[in-house]
Structure 1
């Protein structure tokens, strides 16, 4: 069989070998119970890999990086709430790739500690894991040249196995089936697809558990390079991590968190997260096909998919930034321009930074007589600025309706463009 064409950007294909296998827990069909060996895939070493990027793909990557940089460099005073929104958008979309589904309101409730929806709580854990992993590679901000204001001036700290394990521990800590393995590399053979009881008929079987540490050492060496095009590095780091599949669960979400981690470490972003998972989830089959092509020895599909997703996500996120900048005036108009210093005005002034809160919290934050704050909340609810997120009679949880709706709409817009603009 001929290998990948030059346009596919050939890399070494995964090797395959048979290894012994036996069920740890009896179950399934006779074929499951009597299976004695499995064909595993062994990813190639990446640490010293050099790829000559085709000029057309290189131009696409440059355009994507410019779009990301523009997003990260602009929108001044609204960048903090934008950064928070994009972090949450990426976590929600990444979870949806794994068929973890919850409404925006459920997610907002879970962010506030209400545990009624397991999927929403999983999304919150994913958000914290992503934030921690990205923060682990941020710059040392103790000393910066004048005028940099804490911004990255180059490559950040190295990505470490400890940071990956810590992120996985956060992600899986409250999962009733997986918490025992949270923050631990797998010590068993896993597989994707096929039977639940054995690797029989699996779509993909990762390398044996005893090889995982060496594969991760190689991956971290590759992720630490600074002479590789950034989107190539992000795409291949992610694809290789998915091939290694080092955890019993949560590999996809941690693997996708590595994409923005690479962007942060290489200084492409300093404040925002690019919600490219919204584009990937819209074309889930294409994304999985690109991972399959990577394992077969073609790097271009996964690099192109990430480049395209990054461009769409950055452009639509810039539109969201513009909408965020308009929200304070929209809220003021909806509430009929409450006077400066009033409880309603003080609540509106905090709403971009704190879009979800309890009645007691906002009363403490804005100060003044509680009766005035409660009356202001009622006024903002009546005007459509706030909506209740629980059915409590005491200490209700409230959300800024337009901001929560924008979180939903951002994912919808990115997904719609991803489906329409097929590469």
Structure 2
């Protein structure tokens, strides 16, 4: 589809860090507004230049020793997270799924608190951003579950995830689960591709591009983290939907991990690292389009390693929380909860269910509603639980220590990524790749 030449390993002494691929091509296409608006320049625009990603179904990334070592180190950290916390995986997987969805949404400037997320998950839709985050979590979970047991990633599954993501969006619901039929663009004017940072390929090429992408995504002969990074970048370059591309594209990262068996239950909150370096994240995608996947792969390796290592800390913290809750309860009441009591059963369930209503908890632990209500009130009195709404009926409760841990996890991942000595190298490599591309235009 593209007719440009391969991008060279053009970083001088850092050539070992480059991963060359074909530069995205360029083609001038006709353009006309479907609805009038914007400036005179927007209305008079008659042509734009689209970018044409290379086909990658048979692409074999050539990794230097540096990129290979960093990718393998990240994969080892992911495997260690997945392997070390057998009894805790159900709890940590729920938490990490939320962390990844929240961070992925924040990259798109969708901001809401964890508490807002919990309210939205229980049908309280006062915050549209939180509702969008819940949809992102549902879409990510749906896509990951679809490849359990090594099942292939299919176009149907990607469209299903997008349908879940955009179903309740007031502006985009009609296009939920549908490949775009119009030209879209990133940056610049809201009314035309004038001044756009990137103009994806024409709509009539998108379905073929997605078929090519999925052929690459379902291979088993490419290093896992390298495959996940390239699948993500290629998806972003195709930009197959009118909206929601970033969140579905980032969902594909953990989907590749799961399909290849790099993870069995956990979701690696890689987006928590990317949100801290949002501008550079977009720049490494630009470097990918100019023929060097090295900065992208290295950034993903660093982000995945930081996320996996800090997620292990969170997993360890979660295992300590039930004992802390029991101690809180005992300090206030003079005794620990009786072994078969509703309070004891709730404490056991909390790491897996940090947000809930009394009705949900009653069903989970199989206790009478009256005893569950009484136990929740006592646990709230001692500070183990707190309400998230002012309503009396169907009150949503949360575990503040888990909410704090979720917030802290994102902060630790961001900090660990920023302070890693490899980070300045990646930033410098990205800048050099983009400078070299600009000089050849």
Q: Does 1:359 align with 2:358?
A: yes
2:58 maps to: 48
Instruction: Report SS of the residue matched to 1:76.
Output: coil
Name the CA distance, whole Å, in 1 between partners of 2:362 and 2:20: 60
User: Once the 2 structures are TM-superposed, how far is the Cα of residue 342 of structure 1 from its aligned partner?
Assistant: 2.3
1:262 maps to: 256
Instruction: Report SS of the residue matched to 1:334.
Output: helix
Name the CA distance, whole Å, in 1 between partners of 2:394 and 2:139: 28
Name the CA distance, whole Å, in 2 between partners of 1:369 and 1:36: 68
1:168 maps to: 162
Q: Out of 291, 301, 320, which is 2:285 matched to?
A: 291
1:129 maps to: 139
2:373 maps to: 374
Name the CA distance, whole Å, in 1 between partners of 2:124 and 2:393: 14
2:104 maps to: 94
Name the CA distance, whole Å, in 1 between partners of 2:114 and 2:348: 23
- The more displaced of 342-351 and 377-386 is 342-351
2:407 maps to: 408
Name the CA distance, whole Å, in 1 between partners of 2:296 and 2:337: 51
1:75 maps to: 85
1:16 maps to: 26
Instruction: Report SS of the residue matched to 1:380.
Output: helix
Structure-2 change in CA distance of 1:52 and 1:368 (3 Å): closer
Name the CA distance, whole Å, in 1 between partners of 2:226 and 2:417: 20
1:343 maps to: 342
Name the CA distance, whole Å, in 2 between partners of 1:34 and 1:373: 66
Q: Out of 298, 301, 306, which is 1:307 matched to?
A: 301
Deviations 1:248-289 (A, max 9, x none): 000000000111111111111111110000000001111111
Runs of 4+ in 1 over 6 A off after TM superposition: none
Name the CA distance, whole Å, in 2 between partners of 1:95 and 1:191: 19
Instruction: Report SS of the residue matched to 2:51.
Output: strand
User: Once the 2 structures are TM-superposed, how far is the Cα of residue 375 of structure 1 from its aligned partner?
Assistant: 2.8
Q: Does 1:388 align with 2:387?
A: yes
2:75 maps to: 65
Unaligned runs of 5+ in 1: 140-155
User: Once the 2 structures are TM-superposed, how far is the Cα of residue 65 of structure 1 from its aligned partner?
Assistant: 0.8
1:319 maps to: 313
- Give the TM-score, by structure 2 length: 0.90
Name the CA distance, whole Å, in 1 between partners of 2:303 and 2:365: 40
Instruction: Report SS of the residue matched to 2:344.
Output: helix
- The more displaced of 346-355 and 223-232 is 346-355
Deviations 1:60-105 (A, max 9, x none): 1111111100111121211101111111111111000000110010
1:28 maps to: 38
User: Once the 2 structures are TM-superposed, how far is the Cα of residue 384 of structure 1 from its aligned partner?
Assistant: 1.0
User: Once the 2 structures are TM-superposed, how far is the Cα of residue 395 of structure 1 from its aligned partner?
Assistant: 2.7
Name the CA distance, whole Å, in 1 between partners of 2:365 and 2:59: 55
CA RMSD of aligned residues (A): 1.5
Aligned residues: 407
Instruction: List aligned pairs for 1:209-224, cutoff 5 A.
Output: 209-224=203-218
User: Once the 2 structures are TM-superposed, how far is the Cα of residue 346 of structure 1 from its aligned partner?
Assistant: 2.1
